[in-house]
C-alpha cells in the first residue's frame, strides 16, 4: 500500500553546516562571497518540487542563522517550516518571522542534529502555551515526538494540529533484526495520531533507500528530509537530489 501526494519538506540545515565550516564568524552570509549560498539552495529546492523549506535556528546558531531564516522567509514562494526549541526566545523569534508552521523539537547543545523526540508529557504546560501562542498568530504547530502512545495522546491534548514522528530509531535499525519492529511502531503511532484527528508527518534519517518503505505508511501528510538530500546533492546537485526524492516519495 502506498500514499499519493505526500508532501516533501526539504531541510537545508546541513547546507548551512557546510557554509559555516568555512565562513563561521564572517558577517556576510549571502551572495558570491560565501558558498553554498543558503538562499540559492532554498530556491533551487522549491523549483525542483519541494513543498516546503525547513530550517532549525538553534540558540548557538551552529548552522542556520536567524538572518538566514528572515531572508528565506522573504524570498521563497512555498511554505516555511521552522523547527524550534520550546523556549520563550525562540517563540518570540517565530512571531517575528511568522513561518507557515513551527515544529517544536528537543534541543541539546552537544548534539549535531536533533536526537530523540520531544517529551510532551513531561513539559505539557510549556508545550501547550507555545501551541496556543502560535495559533493566536495563525501559525500551525507540529510536535516532533517518538512514536510513543502517551506522547501522541499528550500532543493531541495540547491542541497541536500536527505531529512529526521521529523516524531515527527506525532508520538506525533498518538493516538490523529489529528494523521491522521499529517500522511497526511507526505504523501504530501513525494510526493513533490519525484516530486523534492529527495530521501525521515524519522525519529524521529518511534516505533514498528506506523511503521506499516509509512511503507505504498509510495517510502520511509530509516528510521532512535534510541530511540525505544534502548528501546526495554533493554528487548530482540540489535540484536533482530533490527531484529524485520527490519521485521516490510519490512513486
DSSP letters along 163-196, please? EEEE-HHHHHHTTSTTHHHHHHHHHHHHHHHHHT
Residue 62: its pLDDT value, please?
Answer: 82
Task: Tell me, yes or no, if 221 is annotated catalytic.
Answer: no
DSSP 10: E
Q: Which residue has the higher pLDDT, 114 or 230?
A: 230
The pLDDT value given to residue 4:
62
CATH number for the domain spanning 242: value is 3.20.20.70
Residue the block writes with cell 516519495 = 249
pLDDT tens by residue, 196-208: 999 999 999 999 9
- pLDDT of 3 strictly over 90: no
The pLDDT of residue 111 is 44
Lowest-confidence region among 110-114, 195-199, 246-250? 110-114
In a domain, 2, yes or no: no
Asked whether the predicted pLDDT for residue 97 surpasses 90, the reply is: yes
Max CA-CA distance within the chain? 50
End-to-end CA distance of the chain: 11
The residue range of the domain holding 32 is: 7-250
Domain membership of residue 1 (yes or no) is no
Domain count within the chain: 1
Catalytic residue among 83, 164, 182, 222: 83
Grid cell at residue 150: 502517551
Which positions ≥6 away from 124 have C-beta within 8 Å?
154, 157, 158
Residue 83 is a catalytic residue:
yes
pLDDT at 30 > cutoff 90: no
CA gyration radius, the chain: 17
CA 160 to CA 141: how far, in whole Å? 6
Whether residue 105 contacts residue 58, with contact meaning beta carbons closer than 8 Å, is answered with no
**Predicted pLDDT at 31:** 73
Q: Is 106 or 23 the better-scoring residue by pLDDT?
A: 106
Residue 119 lies in a domain: yes
Higher-scoring residue by pLDDT: 109, 68: 68
Does residue 246 lie in a domain region? yes
Is the predicted pLDDT of residue 110 greater than 90, yes or no?
no
Catalytic entry in 14, 20, 56, 182: 56
CB atoms within 10 A of CB 137: 12
Band (pLDDT 50/70/90 cuts) for residue 22 is confident
CA dist., res. 210 & res. 177, Å (int): 15
The residue ranges of DSSP E strands in 120-195, in sequence order, are: 140-145, 162-166
| Residue 112 predicted with pLDDT over 60 | no
pLDDT tens-digit readout, 145-188: 999 999 999 999 999 999 999 999 999 999 987 889 999 999 99
Asked, for residue 100, whether it belongs to a domain, the answer is: yes
Residue 15 lies in a domain: yes
Q: What percent of the chain stands above pLDDT 70? A: 95
Res 216 pLDDT > 90 = yes
Write down the pLDDT at residue 251. 76
Among 14, 204, 221, 222, the active-site one is 204
Return mean pLDDT, the chain.
93
Is 120 a residue whose pLDDT tops 90? yes
Q: What is the pTM of this model?
A: 0.92
User: Which residues does 75 contact at the CB level (< 8 Å), separation at least 6?
Assistant: 39, 42, 43
Q: Does 77 fall in a domain?
A: yes
User: Does 204 participate in catalysis according to the annotation?
Assistant: yes
Q: Angle 13-23/227-236 helices, nearest 10 degrees?
A: 70
CA 155, distance to chain mean position in Å, is: 17
Alpha carbons 166 and 230: distance in angstroms, whole number: 19
Residue 91 within a domain: yes
Least confident range of 15-19, 21-25, 81-85: 21-25
Amino acid at each position: 500500500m502506498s500514499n499519493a501526494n505526500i508532501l516533501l519538506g526539504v531541510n537545508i540545515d546541513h547546507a548551512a553546516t557546510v557554509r559555516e565550516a568555512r565562513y563561521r564568524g564572517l558577517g556576510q552570509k549571502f551572495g558570491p562571497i560565501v558558498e553554498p549560498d543558503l538562499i540559492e539552495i532554498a530556491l533551487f529546492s522549491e523549483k525542483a518540487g519541494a513543498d516546503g523549506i525547513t530550517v532549525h535556528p538553534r540558540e548557538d546558531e551552529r548552522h542556520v542563522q536567524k538572518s538566514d531564516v528572515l531572508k528565506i522567509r522573504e524570498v521563497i514562494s512555498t511554505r516555511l517550516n521552522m523547527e524550534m526549541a520550546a523556549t520563550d526566545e525562540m517563540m518570540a523569534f517565530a512571531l517575528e518571522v511568522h513561518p507557515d508552521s513551527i515544529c517544536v523539537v528537543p534541543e541539546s547543545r552537544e548534539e549535531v542534529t536533533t536526537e530523540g523526540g520531544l517529551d510532551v508529557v513531561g513539559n505539557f504546560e510549556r508545550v501547550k502555551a507555545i501551541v496556543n501562542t502560535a495559533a493566536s498568530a495563525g501559525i500551525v504547530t507540529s510536535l516532533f515526538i517518538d512514536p510513543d502512545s502517551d506522547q501522541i495522546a499528550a500532543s493531541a491534548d495540547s491542541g497541536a494540529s500536527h505531529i512529526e514522528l521521529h523516524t531515527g530509531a527506525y532508520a538506525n535499525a533498518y538493516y538490523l533484526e529489529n528494523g521491522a519492529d521499529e517500522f511497526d511502531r511507526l505504523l501504530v503511532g501513525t494510526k493513533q495520531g490519525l484516530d486523534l484527528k492529527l495530521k501525521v508527518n515524519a522525519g529524521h534519517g529518511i534516505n533514498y533507500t528506506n523511503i521506499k518503505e516509509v512511503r507505504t505508511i498509510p495517510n502520511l501528510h509530509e516528510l521532512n528530509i535534510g541530511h540525505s538530500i544534502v548528501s546526495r546533492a554533493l554528487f548530482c546537485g540540489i535540484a536533482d537530489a530533490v527531484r529524485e526524492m520527490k519521485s521516490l516519495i510519490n512513486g
